[in-house]
Amino acid sequence: MSGRVPRTHSFQWSTLVDFIEQHPEMVTHKFVGINGRENFNKLWEELTTLLNSTGFGSKDCKKWQEVFGKWKSKIKIKAQEIQCGIKKTGGGGPLPQLTPIEERLIGIIGWKIVTGDRNVEMGVVCIY
């Protein structure tokens, strides 16, 4: 038997995003208090149980965190490609489109990650 992990089903992605929308601190890692890390781990354990109960294969908590991290990275790259394609001139090929679930994920993590922060910090002077 191989150690291959089953592919994540679209229902599991939807379930994951629903849960993260209710607990955005899981993405921002902004847990407060002395029990912050413990609360982070408890939420991931709860999410793992929820995702594994969908009937589309199961993974342990660490594997779900890894899968989510890779998916999030893939979606950020896809969104950046779209942004770069929009800024190009001369047409070119069709741009990839974000699915509704991917758009929800970008809404949680923030478009600033994709587009960059356009605010100039006051008091910073660069002399070349």
Q: Hey, what are 36's tokens? A: 């912050």
Burial of 122 (0-12, 13-18, 19+ CB in 10 A): exposed
pLDDT in tens, 100-117: 999 999 988 887 677 666
CB 104 within 8 A of CB 17: yes
CB 25 within 8 A of CB 31: yes
What is the domain partition of the chain in residue ranges?
10-115
What mean pLDDT is reported for the chain? 83
Among the listed ranges 39-43, 45-49, 69-73, 122-126, which one has the minimum average pLDDT value? 122-126
Q: Which amino acid is at 86?
A: I
From 98, 100, 127, select the one nearest 114 (Cα to Cα). Answer: 98
pLDDT in tens, 80-97: 888 877 777 666 667 788
pLDDT in tens, 43-67: 999 999 999 999 998 899 999 999 9
Tokens 């995702």 correspond to what residue? 51
Which pLDDT does position 1 carry in this prediction?
43
